[in-house]
Amino acid sequence: MTCKKPALFTTLALVGVLSGCSTVQRDTPLQVWDDMKHQPKFKAQSEMEESNVFAYRRVTQRPVEDTVARGHLREETPLNTGLDKGMYLGKSPVPLTKDVLVLGQTKFNIYCSPCHDQSGMGKGIVPTRVPAWQPANLTEDRIVQEPDGEIFDVITHGRNTMTPYNYFLTPEDRWAVIAYVRVLQRAAHGKLEDVPAEERASLK
């Protein structure tokens, strides 16, 4: 019996030591060797004590003026501005494909339909709640006549009471939305002749 006691003590001592590892230690640990846990550093947003490194004593420096983050360069091309030599582009520079239209439909229904409604007529939920804020009817002749580049400009910079949407829609998204707006305009001004002959009877 007696010989089992030291074994029991050793087990208890081990459990004690090991469980110590899992507790959170809040005091600075006693450090025998000064390892890499301690090294000079600046905390983010703090001030440097001496101003000999940067003119500003702030630790976090502003990027140099006109710095553009990688992948964020938007050159002033017609694709990004909707303009060519200062004139609105007549036609979108993005070739029309089914994918473009599907993207345009998705983005239009998310970002434009709250005001302009899903058919583009301007009877979305926002104007029903705020009657003073009347969106344009995107299918009316005036906007049908607007060049693609001008609608691009409206989405990018806003116009009158319409706010800009450039933060939510990349230039590619904007052209896709414009392509879809053209679809809505076409649908709103559709004639019986646009319907395949064999289906006309069902519409009359």
Smallest distance from ligand HEC to CB 192, Å: 28
Q: Does 126 bind ligand HEC (CB under 6 A)?
A: yes
Q: Does 147 bind ligand HEC (CB under 6 A)?
A: no
Dihedral sign for Cα atoms in the order 19, 21, 22, 23 = positive
Q: Does 116 bind ligand HEC (CB under 6 A)?
A: yes
- As a whole number of angstroms, the distance between CA 192 and CA 184 comes to 16
Three-class SS state of 88: strand
Smallest distance from ligand HEC to CB 161, Å: 4
DSSP per-residue string spanning 49-79: SSTTS-SS-BSSPPPPTT---TT----S-HH
Q: How crowded is the C-beta side of 156, counted as CA atoms within 13 Å?
A: 18
Name the one range near ligand HEC by CB under 6 A: 45-53, 59-67, 113-121, 185-193: 113-121
Name the one range near ligand HEC by CB under 6 A: 39-47, 74-82, 149-157, 188-196: 149-157
Smallest distance from ligand HEC to CB 123, Å: 12
Name the one range near ligand HEC by CB under 6 A: 1-9, 13-21, 36-44, 112-120: 112-120
Residue from the set 160, 191, 193, 204 that interacts with ligand HEC by CB under 6 A: 160
Asked if 46 and 59 count as a contact pair (C-beta separation under 8 A), the reply is: yes
Query: What residue type is assigned to position 5 of the chain?
Result: K
Measured CA angle at 49 (ends 43, 51), to 5 deg: 110
Q: Which is nearer to ligand HEC, 20 or 131 (CB)?
A: 131
Q: Does 114 bind ligand HEC (CB under 6 A)?
A: yes
Beta strand extents in 27-162 (DSSP E only): 83-84, 87-88
Q: Does 145 bind ligand HEC (CB under 6 A)?
A: no
Q: Which residues are within 8 A (CB) of 125 and not within 5 positions of it... i.e. 6 or more apart?
A: 114
Q: Does 112 bind ligand HEC (CB under 6 A)?
A: yes
Q: Does 162 bind ligand HEC (CB under 6 A)?
A: yes
Token pair in block for residue 10: 């050793």
Q: Which residues bind ligand HEC (CB under 6 A)?
A: 111-112, 114-116, 126, 133, 135-136, 138, 143, 146, 151, 154-155, 159-162, 165, 169, 177, 181
